[in-house]
Structure 1
Amino acid sequence: MASKNGVTVTNGLDNYYTEAISGEHTFYIDEPEKVGGKDKAPAPTDYVLGALASCTAITIRMYAERKGWEVGIIRVNAALAPVMTADGLRQRMKKEVAFEKDLTEEQVARLLEIGEKCPVSKMLKAEVEMLMEHREYRE
């Protein structure tokens, strides 16, 4: 039941351990042992953070290449932390970006600005309408 659009997952073979198929690619998701998983693969939130960090790095690299700026290795760490706001407890995503090569303050500022424009950042910051519907199970 792999979809040409999106990702299709199958769960139920080994508790929370889940197989995901995206086109020709297969990857796995699990939960940590502390919440009942077996920690055989990254947790769902790890994939969201990985998508955010990788999209940020790729977008920055594309821009730097167009500008002819040598940045070397780009390292992006994305983390999730609970934060108390006036509206109650919320999640905050934080990205830290490091460049192997020395860059001017202006270059760094511009690259960080561009990194915020990656498609995953835009999607996570926007209000995304989510729909859920039931379908019959088929092999």
Structure 2
Amino acid sequence: MAKNKGVTACNGLDDYMTRVTDGKHVFFVDEPESLGGGDKKASPTDYLLGALASCTAITMRMYAQRKEWKPGTIKVHASFAPVMTPEGVQQRIRKEVSFEKELSGEQVKRLLEIGERCPVSKMLNAEVPMEMERVAWTTESK
């Protein structure tokens, strides 16, 4: 996996509207009105699900291209789904995959297996540890 330099998120001018950059690309995040945001952009959760769905589709596309399979458009829908467990209701992520073109059962099975190996799936399944620290504000922080 390529080294990721990370992203920086800044807000404070328009409630929850947040500018995110990786140093080259910029996108914006907001919260829905029900949570006090302006609902002007997708929510952080939507971006997380979007990262998962797109990474899954891209990984399957790369594999299909190497095998010279022709799935047509690959569509991945990712959503949170409540599931009853012995510990109570828990949120699970559900991915639904469809292919525009007809594939054999074995091809579909293999593409679904490969889709679970995308970097974002691996990261979410591994429960990557996180740490937070406060750093001094500098002119580069803006």
Q: Do these two structures clear the TM 0.5 threshold for a shared fold by scoring above it? A: yes
Q: How does 1:37-116 map to 2 (within 5 A)?
A: 37-116=37-116
TM-score where L is the length of structure 2 = 0.92
* Partner SS, residue 121 of structure 2: helix
* Partner SS, residue 14 of structure 1: coil
Counterparts of 1:138 and 1:44 in 2: how far apart (Å)?
A: 26
TM-score where L is the length of structure 1 = 0.93
Q: Deviations over 1:71-130 (max 9, x none)?
A: 111111000123232223321000011111100111101100100000000000002110
What is the letter of the counterpart of residue 84 of structure 1? M
Q: How does 1:97-136 map to 2 (within 5 A)?
A: 97-136=97-136
Count of residue pairs the alignment pairs up: 136
Pick which of 104-113 and 83-92 moved more: 83-92
Counterparts of 2:72 and 2:127 in 1: how far apart (Å)?
A: 34
Percent identity over the alignment is: 62
What is the letter of the counterpart of residue 131 of structure 2? L
User: Could you say what the CA RMSD is over the residues aligned between the two structures, in angstroms?
Assistant: 1.2
Counterparts of 1:56 and 1:85 in 2: how far apart (Å)?
A: 26
Q: Which has the higher strand share?
A: 1
Segments of 4+ moved more than 6 angstroms: none
CA drift at 1:5:
1.3
Unaligned runs of 5+ in 2: none
1:7 paired to 2:28: no
Q: Deviations over 1:31-86 (max 9, x none)?
A: 00011000010000001000000000000000000101011111110001232322
